[in-house]
Amino acid sequence: MHPLLAALTEEQQKRLVAREQPAWMEPMLATPASPGPMSGDWIFEQKFDGERCLVFRDSHRVRLLSRNRRVLNDTYPELVEALEAFTDRQFIADGEIIALEGDVPSFSRLQERMQIHDPVKAKKSRVPVFLYLFDLIYLDGFDLASLDLRTRKTLLKTLIPFRDPVRYTEHQEDGLAYYREACTKGLEGIIAKRASGRYLHRRSSDWLKFKCLNRQEFVIGGYTDPGGSRPGFGALLLGYYQDGRLLSAGKVGTGFDDRTLREIGARLVSLEQQASPFADKERPEKGEHFVTPVLVCEVIFTEWTPEGKLRHPRYLGLRDDKPAREVVREKPQS
């Protein structure tokens, strides 16, 4: 048994589950919620605007896996090298990969790295990345998921000698003050986590996400013709799933540079289809084209209209870490 686990209390050791290191563990996911006073059994962490990453370290190698099990090693080779140098212990840790714009995580900037799948090119990229780890769920033959969160975070902070580009995710105790501070700094928001909670391999109300602005993933179901000298396309037709049906959420036509317009435009042309993927939009309007609904993008917006469309949306980037069928309209818990 690892010395850190041997030092746990007798009660904590009873919660450990002996098992071989699994090849995969489903990540715990947060439930959208509205911010408000929270006291007692909660801690609060920054909500990172990046790519979720689970680290699997065995006796031979490090694997970085996205939430849909995509191997990220060739995209972020510097993170792999750093983690291999830290320790040879077997562990599984949960975290988020980010790129910074000043002091603020920028998903748009991270997009430049997410599209690289050659380790040589990735190392030459001008976009440095950081891995913020926030949870430890396996260590040297034992599943830690039944331990409380505070204990798991203490084990994580003690196990790994954190230094760039791998960083430890600190937490705060005053959630409402931290939320206001995060919004003032232009951050995406915060995550509230039940301090005594187990690590649950599913979405749970033991983790709550409070966003400073409305933003979520949407399925791309079509596009419009570009106007004037604009390359690629004019706007994306967006949707989300409800009861297995893709419903229209309107269009987004801002937030693109010329390179993005050309690259996404080429992918959309290859996915074009005659039939509408939307359950509530049978025919295209003039200049619209339908596509097979497999691409997912993230969008920021001010609010939903009474008709269920996005108001003032702006495109942030493509996401390949979430299947289109899992994209639903996020409704905060009150």
The per-residue pLDDT for range 135-170, each reduced to its tens digit, is 999 999 999 999 999 999 999 999 999 999 999 999
Residues 307, 250 contacting (CB under 8 angstroms): no
Check pLDDT > 70 for residue 42. Answer: yes
Pairing of strands 29-32, 203-211: parallel
Phi/psi at 175 (5° precision): -70, -45
Percentage of the chain exceeding pLDDT 90? 85
**Amino acid making up residue 20:** E
pLDDT band at 296 (very low <50, low <70, confident <90, very high): very high
* Element (DSSP H or E) covering residue 85: helix 77-86
Neighbours of 121 (CB within 10 A): 13
> Residue 264: its pLDDT value, please?
96
Check pLDDT > 80 for residue 35. Answer: no
Residues 72, 115 contacting (CB under 8 angstroms): no
* 108-117 own/partner pairs: CB under 8 Å, 24+ apart: 108/255, 108/316, 108/317, 110/49, 110/50, 110/51, 110/317, 111/317, 111/318, 113/75, 113/76, 114/51, 114/75, 114/317, 114/318, 114/320, 116/74, 116/75, 117/74, 117/75
Q: Cα–Cα distance between 193 and 277 in angstroms, integer?
A: 37
Domain with residues 3-211, CATH architecture: 2-Layer Sandwich (3.30)
CATH topology for 214-326?
Answer: OB fold (Dihydrolipoamide Acetyltransferase, E2P) (2.40.50)
What would the pLDDT profile of 91-106 be if each residue is shown by its tens digit?
Answer: 999 999 999 998 899 9
DSSP tag of 83 = H
> Residue 334: its pLDDT value, please?
56
Q: Given 3-state DSSP classes, what are the helix, strand and coil percentages for the chain, each rounded to the nearest 5?
A: 20, 35, 45
Q: Which of 29-43, 66-80, 286-300 has the lowest mean pLDDT?
A: 29-43
> Residue 34: its pLDDT value, please?
82
Neighbours of 116 (CB within 10 A): 18
pLDDT band at 331 (very low <50, low <70, confident <90, very high): confident
> Residue 160: its pLDDT value, please?
95
Count Cα neighbours of 202 within 13 Å in the Cβ-side half-sphere: 2
> Residue 119: its pLDDT value, please?
97
**What number is the average pLDDT over the span 170-187?**
91
For the chain, give every domain's residue range: 3-211, 214-326
What would the pLDDT profile of 102-122 be if each residue is shown by its tens digit?
Answer: 889 999 899 999 999 999 999
**What number is the average pLDDT over the span 268-278?**
97
What would the pLDDT profile of 198-249 be if each residue is shown by its tens digit?
Answer: 999 999 999 999 988 888 999 999 999 999 999 999 999 999 999 999 999 9
Q: Which of 36-40, 41-45, 87-91, 325-329 has the lowest mean pLDDT?
A: 36-40
Phi/psi at 231 (5° precision): -85, 165
Q: Check residue 17 and give left, alpha or beta (phi > 0: left; psi -120 to 50: alpha).
A: beta
Q: Cα–Cα distance between 332 and 250 in angstroms, integer?
A: 20
Tokens linked to 124: 């030459």
Q: Which residues are catalytic?
A: 47
> Residue 289: its pLDDT value, please?
98
In Å, how far are 99, 128, 194, 333 from 48, measured between CA atoms?
Answer: 10, 16, 18, 20
> Residue 214: its pLDDT value, please?
87
Residue bearing tokens 């995710």: 169
**What number is the average pLDDT over the span 66-95?**
95
**What number is the average pLDDT over the span 265-294?**
97
> Residue 212: its pLDDT value, please?
87
